[in-house]
Amino acid sequence: MADRVQPRQLALALPHGESLTRDNFMEGPANAAGLALIDSWPDWPNRIVSLVGPEGSGKTHLAAIWAERTGARSVAAHNLTAATVPAALATGAVVLENLNHSEFDERSLFHLINLAREEKAFVLMIARTPPTTYPVELSDLRSRLRAVPVVALLPPDDHLLRALIVKFCADRQLSVDESVVSFLSARIERSFVAARKIVELLDTEGLRRGRPVTRALASELLRNR
């Protein structure tokens, strides 16, 4: 009789909750300026501020903390139109999400900035790069954007990177020991995205293989990437 082939275990792509509260925000030198901005509201240097940083750097988390505190509405930049500007500012504060140099209507953004100034509303712009770097055609909008203070989030330092790995594991209810965290933090790219992706890979492969997440598994996965 031929040997029976053991079925391959499938890893189910279940959603993993991530709390976006102030208590659950991982603090470090990389995001200190952004956190200080949120905590200092309403004593901002300008009612319109741009929060910029690489993918996964905590912009959305900080915006969620600010929105909870201020009652701000959230609007995706590419969905903003002149007609929706008044509703966006109805609570006196708005988060303009995912502002990208090629994915917003210039006249609508100009209208938002002007109306916010008139109504003394607050606007938190979320972007990966400073809006002043965008190839804006409207000269008046370029002038408005140059006046917007920019607060930058930076790549994580060693301490924050380790803390992020631990947090992402906790979000997935994934048990790892200190040796795994140390091994990963010394070998992955120092970025928020890299930390999230390696934890996701460890979780997925651990489930698929029916193995605990160990340093040996981490080493194998990094070697084969």
Give the residues of the chain that fall short of pLDDT 70: 1-18, 102
The model carries a pTM of 0.79
- Residue 34 near residue 151, CB atoms below 8 Å: yes
Residue 21: predicted pLDDT? 83
Domains and CATH numbers, the chain: 29-152 (3.40.50.300), 158-223 (1.10.8)
Q: Residue 1 in 3-state DSSP?
A: coil
What φ, ψ does residue 13 adopt, rounded to 5°?
A: -85, 75
| pLDDT at residue 12, as a whole number | 37
| Rg, C-alpha atoms of the chain | 21
Compute the distance between CA of residue 201 and CA of residue 219 in angstroms, rounded to an integer: 12
Q: What pLDDT is recorded for position 16?
A: 53
In the numeric block, which tokens belong to residue 105? 């209507």
